[in-house]
Amino acid sequence: MQSSFQHKQAAHCENGAIVNLLQNKGFTISEPMAFGLGSGLFFVYLPFIKVNHAPAISYRPMPGQIFNRLAKHLGIKIKRRKFSNPQKAQQALDENLKQNIATGLLVGVYHLPYFPDEYRFHFNAHNIVVFGKENGRYLVSDPVLDYTVSLSEAELEKVRYAKGALAPNGHMYQLERIPEKFDWSPAIRKAIKKTCRDMLAPVPIVGVKGMRMVAKAIVKWHKKSGAVKANYNLANMIRMQEEIGTGGGGFRFIYAAFLQEAGEYLQNDDLINLSKEMVEIGDKWRDFALEAARVVKKRSNTENVYQVLSNQLLHIADLEESFYKKLKKAI
């Protein structure tokens, strides 16, 4: 039983799991730092993969990537395990808990009973940390909530064995080895470079180019499939962008916080100035979400609403492109 576990709320689940796992090993790291060092900022548009009938748009790298990158940059070793047999998965978890090892789990959101209905979709890459077991119930620290919750064995098995895209298959992870001292400066440099490379990648569906592709697609959705379908796709895009901190607007602010922290650490004023610029870009994303919400609610009186939205997104892509180019030089 781990009674000493401290739960810390986070904007995004994966960062939160990292922060909580490290903190309980006695290493304090802020969420923005974890996000930045994990090169968490990303964008990818996958028109050929449908999620809830809408084309997939992701504002983050593949689940687990943020932690993996952070671990690589800081020299941490993570132990990850998957199980084809749910019983073995439970045994392994129980054993960890007996040894007082807080364990990260990848789970499906749909069957999590403590989430409101509006959040419960078949999305299988949510991170939680299990830190104890009391009276047959698992004590769970869900990073996006500001309190801890508990799940029964059956409930936990259900979410660990959610099916569909990115099925977690009982995926669990724990910290295996942490270096005695972290070497922050090279880690920060490498992580920022990685983010710039990702966002400026010469691939049409990734990074800034991916945003441009979505911008064009918004107009196409309307022309080809009508307003209902276009609104549905847009709604999904905004949900991906704003929901449980998995998205665009919120991520920009976290990254800005990271740049500020990094700038102070490296005593690099350019980074601090760029942090301010990132806040402005984050505000633009919020404006975009607001306008899209109006369109979805059919409250917008502007003509050619889809063209307006498209232009807004293109503008953001331009801003971000010049931003990452500057960031690359600043480091």
**Contact positions toward other proteins, by CB under 8 A?**
9-11, 31-32, 50, 52-53, 110, 114-122, 144-147, 163-165, 167, 232, 235-236, 238-239, 242-245, 250, 253-254, 256-257, 260-261, 275-276, 279, 282-283, 286, 289-290, 292-294, 296-297
- What single-letter DSSP state applies at residue 206? B
Query: Token digits for 98?
Result: 């007996």
Partners of 45 in the β-ladder: 57
Smallest gap from residue 229 Cβ to other proteins (A): 11
28 CB-contact burial (10 Å; exposed 0-12 / middle 13-18 / buried 19+): exposed
Smallest gap from residue 120 Cβ to other proteins (A): 7
Smallest gap from residue 318 Cβ to other proteins (A): 21
Smallest gap from residue 180 Cβ to other proteins (A): 28
Which lies closer to other proteins via its Cβ, residue 288 or residue 324? 288
Residues in the chain: 331
Smallest gap from residue 164 Cβ to other proteins (A): 4
CA distances from 18 to 41, 96, 102, 104, 275 (A): 16, 17, 11, 8, 23
Which lies closer to other proteins via its Cβ, residue 207 or residue 249? 249
Which lies closer to other proteins via its Cβ, residue 210 or residue 249? 249
Smallest gap from residue 176 Cβ to other proteins (A): 28
Query: Token digits for 205?
Result: 């569906």
Which lies closer to other proteins via its Cβ, residue 117 or residue 180? 117
Which lies closer to other proteins via its Cβ, residue 66 or residue 97? 66
Query: Token digits for 25?
Result: 């090993």
Smallest gap from residue 97 Cβ to other proteins (A): 24
DSSP one-letter string for 79-117: EEE--SSHHHHHHHHHHHHHTT--EEEEE-STT-TTS-G
Which lies closer to other proteins via its Cβ, residue 97 or residue 128? 128
Which lies closer to other proteins via its Cβ, residue 79 or residue 302? 302
**229-230-232 Cα angle (round to 5):** 60
Q: Which residues of 164-193 are buried (b: 16+ CB within 10 A; e: fewer)?
A: eebbbbbbbbbbeebeeeeebeebbebbbe
CA distances from 322 to 103, 289, 290 (A): 40, 22, 24
DSSP one-letter string for 66-83: HHHHHHHHHT-EEEEE--
Tell me which amino acid residue 65 is.
Q
Smallest gap from residue 53 Cβ to other proteins (A): 6
Which lies closer to other proteins via its Cβ, residue 153 or residue 243? 243
